[in-house]
Amino acid sequence: MRSRFSAYATGDAEYLWHTLHPDHEERAHPRDEVTRAIKAASRTLKYMRLKILEARDERVLFLAEVFERGANRSFVELSTFARDGGAWRYLAGECRDARGGEGVERVSALTIASFVGDGSARRDSGSPKPDGCP
């Protein structure tokens, strides 16, 4: 999870493509198209901070502090990973806006159970963050 966040922060589109699970919906698109979109997003999105809220089995709940030209685009995501050839790969994610309405303390107190239980999460479209996310 941390390595993918770092790859978004540095615009390492090849790494992000490599760490997508073969069953991830973005794999249905041409590699060049996906990596080009990631690189374009990296020019405007600034990935400032990652906070892992909970990790359990194949799921990771995290807060990503992201800004786009000074506007807060932070989000909370519940990511699901799956093994592929022995390595963990990103399979899917569900997102929730974390731009201030809930407050940092409330977001930091989220657990996987509470995130899933309230029904306000959106499925990540899979393209460069935070597009499918807020």
Write the pLDDT tens digit of every residue in 36-55. Answer: 999 999 999 999 999 999 99
User: pLDDT digits over 80-121, tens only?
Assistant: 999 999 899 999 999 988 886 555 567 878 999 999 886 565
Query: Alpha-carbon distance 89 to 98, whole Å?
Result: 25
Annotated domain spans of the chain: 2-123
pTM of the model as a whole: 0.85
Both structure tokens of 84: 């592929």
CATH architecture of 2-123: Roll (3.10)
C-alpha dihedral, 68 to 114 to 22 to 41, nearest 10°: 0
**Beta-carbon contacts of residue 78 (< 8 Å; ≥ 6 apart):** 59, 60, 61, 93, 94, 112, 115, 116, 121
The predicted structure's pLDDT at residue 134: 41
Determine the length of the chain: 134
**53-86 burial, b for 16+ CB within 10 Å, e for fewer?**
beeeeebbbbbbbbeeeeeebbbbbbbbbeeeee
Contact indicator for 35, 58 with CB cutoff of 8 Å: no
| For residues 57-77, average pLDDT | 94
H or E, element range at 53: strand 45-56
Contact indicator for 7, 15 with CB cutoff of 8 Å: yes
Query: Alpha-carbon distance 48 to 11, whole Å?
Result: 13
